[in-house]
């Protein structure tokens, strides 16, 4: 696994490295820890930030659940799942055509790469205007279309890399054995890159789940997704501060759990796709 075990390090370097890692781990842990403490504090206790021992209250969590955070988390999940499913199906077919048949040459690849660079501010106003026209403003439909604009290129880009790396022989054998080209694609090629597809799908889902900009502009009201809902807790009136902590944690916890379980594969997917670019 390690490529550099051969170079022996002086103990001081090792010590410096490990100290850095411990420091970084603390800087990741402490903010989340303080947020969790805050979510169990009453308004009065929150006025004393250094307070460590106190009688915890569940009021903040109850208030957050009453405010419809779970409903918006459900909407975010819906948007993410629809966007990712469409992107995986459409993207894998397109990526295969681009990888194997060099469709459109290098300009297709560049176009897909360039789409990831577009500032969201360019695309969002047309989305808003068109959704007004079709009376789709404040619906999840508008949000999904806008999320496709950045999830689809990313997933397609990852998959082009995976298809490039997949061996051709198995697929050619399948064609010799009498499968149609589409059957060979679906039954032979796709299983080969399935781990990659999984990583790309999770990454795309996280991108969609985390988006505030598009969702805030296209669906600020009744169809608010989780980030939009969290943003609405932005207040510094003491009483609501605890609820804000709890609301932030609602957004943080699922992602932390998911990222922890799939990270190893995800890391391989992201780095494999991105480093090769």
196-235 binders of other proteins (CB under 8 A): 206, 209-213, 216-217, 226-227, 230-231, 233-234
By the rule CB under 8 A, 98 interacts with other proteins: yes
The stretch among 53-61, 62-70, 166-174, 240-248 that binds other proteins (CB under 8 A) is 240-248
**CB closer to other proteins, 55 vs 236:** 236
Q: In terms of C-beta density within 10 A (0-12 exposed, 13-18 middle, 19 or more buried), how is residue 215 classed?
A: buried
- Stretches 16-24, 56-64, 171-179, 188-196: which one binds other proteins (CB under 8 A)? 16-24
- The verdict on 24 binding other proteins (CB under 8 A) reads yes
Q: Does the footprint of other proteins cover residue 120 (CB under 8 A)?
A: yes
Q: Please report how close the Cβ of residue 194 comes to other proteins at its closest, in angstroms.
A: 18
**53, 55, 117, 167: which one binds other proteins (CB under 8 A):** 117
Stretch that binds other proteins, among 55-63, 99-107, 164-172, 188-196 (CB under 8 A): 99-107
């Amino acid at each position: 696994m390690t490529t550099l075990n051969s170079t022996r390090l002086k103990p001081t370097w090792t010590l410096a490295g490990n100290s850095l890692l411990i420091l970084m781990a603390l800087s990741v842990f402490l903010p989340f820890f303080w947020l969790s403490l805050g979510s169990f504090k009453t308004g009065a206790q929150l006025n004393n930030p250094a307070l460590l021992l106190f009688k915890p209250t569940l009021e903040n969590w109850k208030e957050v659940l009453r405010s419809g955070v779970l409903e918006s988390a459900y909407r975010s999940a819906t948007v993410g799942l629809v966007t990712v499913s469409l992107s995986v199906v459409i993207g894998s077919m397109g990526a295969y055509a681009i990888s194997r048949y060099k469709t459109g040459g290098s300009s297709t690849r560049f176009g897909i790469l360039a789409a990831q660079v577009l500032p969201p501010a360019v695309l969002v106003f047309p989305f808003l205007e068109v959704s007004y026209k079709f009376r789709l403003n404040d619906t999840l439909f508008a949000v999904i279309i806008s999320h496709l604009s950045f999830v689809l290129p990313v997933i397609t880009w990852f998959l082009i890399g995976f298809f490039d790396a997949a061996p051709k022989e198995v697929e050619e054998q399948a064609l010799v054995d009498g499968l149609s080209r589409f059957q060979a694609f679906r039954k032979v090629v796709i299983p080969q890159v399935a781990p990659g597809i999984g990583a790309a799908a999770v990454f795309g889902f996280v991108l969609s789940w985390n988006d505030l900009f598009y969702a805030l502009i296209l669906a600020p009201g009744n169809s608010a997704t989780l980030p939009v809902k969290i943003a609405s807790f932005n207040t510094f009136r003491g009483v609501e501060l605890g609820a804000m902590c709890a609301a932030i944690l609602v957004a943080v916890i699922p992602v932390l759990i998911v990222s922890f379980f799939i990270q190893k594969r995800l890391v391989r997917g992201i780095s494999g796709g991105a480093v090769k670019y």
